[in-house]
Structure 1
Amino acid sequence: MDPKNGSSFTSLILLGFSDQPQLERVLFVVLLIFYLLTLLGNTTIIALSLLDPHLQTPMYFFLSNLSFLDLCYTTSTVPQLLVHLRGPDKSISFGGCVAQLFIALGLGGTECILLGVMAFDRYAAICRPLHYTVIMHPRLCVLMASASWFIGFANSSLQTVLIFLVPLCGRNKIDHFFCDVAPLLKLACVDTTVNESELFFVGVIILLIPMALITFSYGRIVRVVLRIKSIAGQRKVFGTCGSHLTVVSLFYGTAIYAYLLPSNNHSQNQGKFISLFYTIITPMTNPFIYTLRNKDVTSAMKNVLYGGCDSR
């Protein structure tokens, strides 16, 4: 079969879970509930951060950025997946596939960097409390958040162009539920070793550099916390940092499994369920992890709902 450039296709087929029709019905109900919870939780975080003056701090500025990012990330894949789970038509236009890959890669890369920035914010708050307002100046916060988005989408632009320059052998069926890197490369009719090596190298940079920053930040935080003689003080710090570490573990664990481990280490179905985890489960749980036992957010919610009748 003659090689064809991807642009010669008018549409692509996302096979998703079509080989398991009974699973599709269950997934539709579960994912619809999870998606609605994702919208509710992340929208609440953003609204509270904007409406309550007590939450207009660097920590909640970055958290609202993360919530907006999670909203966009989930919305880029899940609504279409729900449509595909309910009907026989599994097609996606070629332009839609390009856009979906670009957005998913961009938001995923942005989240990697943003989680590192949030760890630095916690380091500054706990290890440099007297200089915190100077270090985390509003202008620097905006700059770091903007840099996270810029780097994430600059990398996504490069990767999307490189992937869709690979010639396809007339095949238009993607064994996945959204347009992701690995399933698209499997459609190629040429050796993709160079592409895979380049993607692995970039993945290591995007994932491991923020992880190094997170490790450094929390290493210093632990040293400071161990010097705190008050048990209540230790619990307060660990409670604040524990939420972020839980989110980091969920996101990085699944991302490393999906993008850095060799694909022959896991089956295609395992890859799909791992992708479901970081496209819907993690964005849904993030708001609840951050707000669980968070008195600031609970108090802000009461103030917004009851018109500020509850004092702090």
Structure 2
Amino acid sequence: MESENDTGVEYFVIKGISDLPNLQAPVFILVLLIYILAIGGNLTILLLVGMDSNLQSPMYFFLANLSILDISSITVTLHKTLVAYISGNKNLSFVDCISQAYFFMALECAELLILAAMSLDRYVAICNPLHYHMIMNPRTCVILATACWALGFVEVVPHTILLGNLSCYTSNEINHFFCDVKTLITLSCSDTSLLKLWIVTEGVFVSGLFPLLMTLLPYIFIIFAILKINTNSGRKKAFYTCSSHVTLVIVLYLTLYFLYLTPSSESNLNYHKLFSLFNTAAVPLLNPLIYSLKNKKVKSAMKRQLHILYSKVVYPST
């Protein structure tokens, strides 16, 4: 649905993942399945961390925060897509669209900062194990997590204000499945130079580069500490404790690189949608899978809780 050229819009039309009629049902089923698995996997992590005493440590506290962020992020971006397939209503008001863009950016920034906090936790655990519980005490963990959430939601406020002030759009059709800032900039006929400059200076260097450096810097010290371990088994164990976190960092940053540091044009919007779908749907699904498949403590906790549940069902107390 086209609006008049060079005018503002009251609502946007979200085109979705695919325009092909024959693909509507399969895409809906696929997205719904990914959504259910991602929500279920992250809720499982949250329940395990909350219920199992062996997971009551800083590492899993931050993992629980990561799960909350993933549940929130996938819901913010995919809920309209799922509702649109059922109701047929693809319209989204201007305010709702800007709000969706804000929450998506805020949650992404908070997730990068939580990953940086997890990197700091691994540094203390490996480089200063004798003082680990004293340094990473519950108060410190809560302060770190709160700072990550607060900073993530505050630092994207200028982006949102500048985005909300764009008053001219060539069309109200968004070739995407949610209100992504890059797509909105492509559609806008307003002067977007200030917003683009802010995204490059603050968005890339502060929201992106700062948490990346804060994530990588501890690993420089971690690598040196691991290399000093005399036994191969000790080095393997130390590397293993970091492997899940490193995998998440690599996957997330590579996805964000392809999303926001590649040229923006109408011709590559379909590729942008695919990378966005991977970032918003597959990454939240990968997080619990990586930690459940690669982490022995999580697998052991899951077996214990399933055994407890089985015992309660088969041998209920009288």
- TM-score (norm. length: structure 2): 0.90
Tell me whether 201-210 or 118-127 shows the greater mean CA deviation: 201-210
Question: Would the alpha carbon gap of residues 265 and 81 (structure 1) be closer, same or farther in structure 2, given more than 3 Å must change?
Answer: closer
Q: How does 1:101-116 map to 2 (within 5 A)?
A: 101-116=101-116
Partner of 1:305: 306
For residues 122 and 156 of structure 1, what CA distance do their matches in structure 2 show?
A: 28
User: What runs of 5+ residues in structure 1 fail to find an aligned partner?
Assistant: none
Partner of 1:294: 295
Partner of 1:270: 271
Partner amino acid for 1:42? N
1:70 paired to 2:70: yes
Tell me how far 1:266 sits from its aligned partner: 7.2
Question: Would the alpha carbon gap of residues 237 and 136 (structure 1) be closer, same or farther in structure 2, given more than 3 Å must change?
Answer: same
Tell me how far 1:251 sits from its aligned partner: 0.6
Tell me how far 1:87 sits from its aligned partner: 5.9
Equivalent pair of 1:32/1:82 in contact (CA under 8 Å): yes
Tell me whether 30-39 or 15-24 shows the greater mean CA deviation: 15-24
Question: Would the alpha carbon gap of residues 269 and 287 (structure 1) be closer, same or farther in structure 2, given more than 3 Å must change?
Answer: same
For residues 65 and 128 of structure 1, what CA distance do their matches in structure 2 show?
A: 24
Q: How does 1:121-140 map to 2 (within 5 A)?
A: 121-140=121-140
Tell me whether 25-34 or 98-107 shows the greater mean CA deviation: 25-34
1:142 paired to 2:128: no
Tell me how far 1:187 sits from its aligned partner: 2.8
Equivalent pair of 1:115/1:248 in contact (CA under 8 Å): yes
Equivalent pair of 1:5/1:165 in contact (CA under 8 Å): no
For residues 190 and 38 of structure 1, what CA distance do their matches in structure 2 show?
A: 37
Partner amino acid for 2:287? N
Partner of 2:192: 192
Equivalent pair of 2:41/2:289 in contact (CA under 8 Å): yes
Partner of 1:119: 119
Equivalent pair of 1:18/1:24 in contact (CA under 8 Å): yes
Question: Would the alpha carbon gap of residues 126 and 17 (structure 1) be closer, same or farther in structure 2, given more than 3 Å must change?
Answer: same
Partner of 2:14: 14
Question: Would the alpha carbon gap of residues 203 and 265 (structure 1) be closer, same or farther in structure 2, given more than 3 Å must change?
Answer: farther
Partner of 1:249: 250
Equivalent pair of 2:170/2:188 in contact (CA under 8 Å): no
For residues 256 and 137 of structure 2, what CA distance do their matches in structure 1 show?
A: 31
For residues 231 and 304 of structure 1, what CA distance do their matches in structure 2 show?
A: 33
Partner amino acid for 1:149? W
For residues 283 and 123 of structure 2, what CA distance do their matches in structure 1 show?
A: 24
Tell me how far 1:169 sits from its aligned partner: 3.7
Residue-by-residue CA offset, 1:246-291 (whole Å, 9 max, x unaligned): 1001111111221233325971100000000110000001011012
Equivalent pair of 2:159/2:195 in contact (CA under 8 Å): no
For residues 75 and 301 of structure 1, what CA distance do their matches in structure 2 show?
A: 25
Tell me how far 1:298 sits from its aligned partner: 1.8
Tell me how far 1:217 sits from its aligned partner: 1.1
Tell me whether 267-276 or 76-85 shows the greater mean CA deviation: 76-85
Give secondary structure in 1 for the equivalent of 2:308. Answer: coil
- TM-score (norm. length: structure 1): 0.92
For residues 23 and 219 of structure 1, what CA distance do their matches in structure 2 show?
A: 47
For residues 36 and 154 of structure 2, what CA distance do their matches in structure 1 show?
A: 30
Q: How does 1:126-275 map to 2 (within 5 A)?
A: 126-169=126-169, 171-204=171-204, 205-264=206-265, 267-275=268-276
Partner amino acid for 2:59? M
Q: CA RMSD in A?
A: 2.2
For residues 161 and 194 of structure 1, what CA distance do their matches in structure 2 show?
A: 11
Partner of 2:280: 279
Equivalent pair of 1:200/1:260 in contact (CA under 8 Å): no
Residue-by-residue CA offset, 1:68-110 (whole Å, 9 max, x unaligned): 1100000112122123345643211223212211211110110
Equivalent pair of 2:7/2:170 in contact (CA under 8 Å): yes
Residue-by-residue CA offset, 1:188-247 (whole Å, 9 max, x unaligned): 222212211111212221111111122211111111112222222222222221111110
Identity of aligned residues (%): 39
